[in-house]
């Protein structure tokens, strides 16, 4: 059975509570020694990196983390800078903020910084992503697609992600932005993958055994296309409504668990 996960991940659907109980961000902090370990906030996806970096630094400081640094890659050349590569090498948690997921892959893909990320991931560094930082965790990511409408064939733009979690397609802000249709298109085009839609202020914690548990106030939607019996997905008539038969979906809430290898809740 294919192993999908090699280290721990926390994948957040975006808009996590930053002012109230902060349960998801508290969970992030619980995975390190707050006095000794370094938490790195990667603002690569954001168009306002300084503002977002300061915001998360303030929040994580308030939660007791003493060592917080910011990774701000504005241009691709920054991902070749030894200073930035060394930030990754020292971190115990790398936290990717929201923004534009294609910025992350286009700025760091194939660079020394990306290679160091993969190395640290293999060594057990925890990676966390929220919103765009969530979508980019998988090997295939949704870049754009129509929201709040019936799924149509070939309306989805996809691209390679960072590949930290294999065999899944992740979408975020899920119920809030009506993204069920576009994830169904993604899975109909890639039925070997598992679709994971994560609501806002909701996250999955993925362990080394390729199992995840749900935390937060919303739901997680798992779409399994491995038993699809019929679909009209193709490049012909791209605006036609998508038809899929025998697709499976699970809806999970806080404390529910799912096994990615066995495809069972």
- Backbone phi, then psi, for 159, in 5-degree steps? -155, 160
Q: Which of 173, 188, 189, 193 is catalytic?
A: 173
30 is known as an active-site residue = no
Among 131, 135, 188, 193, the active-site one is 131
Among candidate residues 124, 125, 116, 127, the one with its CA nearest the CA of residue 79: 116
Compute how many other C-beta atoms are within 10 angstroms of the C-beta atom of residue 236: 9
Catalytic, 84? Answer no
Options 149, 209, 227, 240, the catalytic residue: 149
Active site residue 173: yes
Give the list of residues 6+ apart from residue 98 with CB closer than 8 angstroms, or none. Answer: 14, 45, 46, 52, 130, 131, 132, 133
Secondary structure of residue 88 in the 3-state scheme: helix
User: SS3 helix, strand, coil % of the chain, rounded to 5?
Assistant: 25, 30, 45
Enumerate the active-site residues: 131, 149, 173
């Amino acid at each position: 059975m294919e192993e999908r996960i090699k280290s721990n991940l926390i994948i957040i659907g975006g808009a996590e509570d930053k002012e109230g109980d902060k349960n998801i961000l508290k969970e992030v902090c619980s995975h390190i020694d707050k006095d000794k370990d370094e938490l790195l906030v990667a603002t690569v996806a954001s168009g306002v990196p300084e503002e977002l970096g300061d915001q998360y630094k303030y929040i994580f400081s308030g939660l007791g983390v003493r060592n917080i640094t910011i990774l701000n890659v504005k241009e691709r050349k920054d991902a070749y800078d030894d200073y930035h590569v060394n930030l990754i090498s020292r971190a115990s948690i790398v936290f990717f903020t929201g923004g534009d997921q294609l910025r992350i892959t286009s700025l760091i893909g194939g660079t020394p910084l990306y290679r160091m990320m993969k190395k640290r991931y293999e060594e057990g560094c925890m990676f966390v992503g929220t919103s765009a930082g969530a979508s980019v965790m998988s090997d295939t990511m949704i870049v754009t697609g129509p929201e709040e409408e019936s799924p149509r064939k070939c309306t989805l733009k996809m691209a390679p992600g960072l590949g930290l979690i294999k065999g899944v397609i992740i979408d975020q802000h899920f119920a809030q932005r009506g993204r069920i249709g576009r994830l169904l298109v993604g899975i109909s085009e890639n039925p070997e993958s598992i679709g994971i839609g994560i609501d806002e202020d909701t996250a999955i914690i993925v362990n080394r055994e390729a199992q995840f548990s749900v935390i937060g106030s919303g739901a997680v939607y798992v779409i399994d296309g491995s038993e699809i019996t019929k679909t009209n997905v193709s490049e012909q008539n791209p605006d036609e409504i998508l038809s899929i038969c025998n697709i499976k979906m699970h809806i999970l809430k806080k404390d529910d668990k799912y096994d990615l290898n066995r495809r069972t809740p």
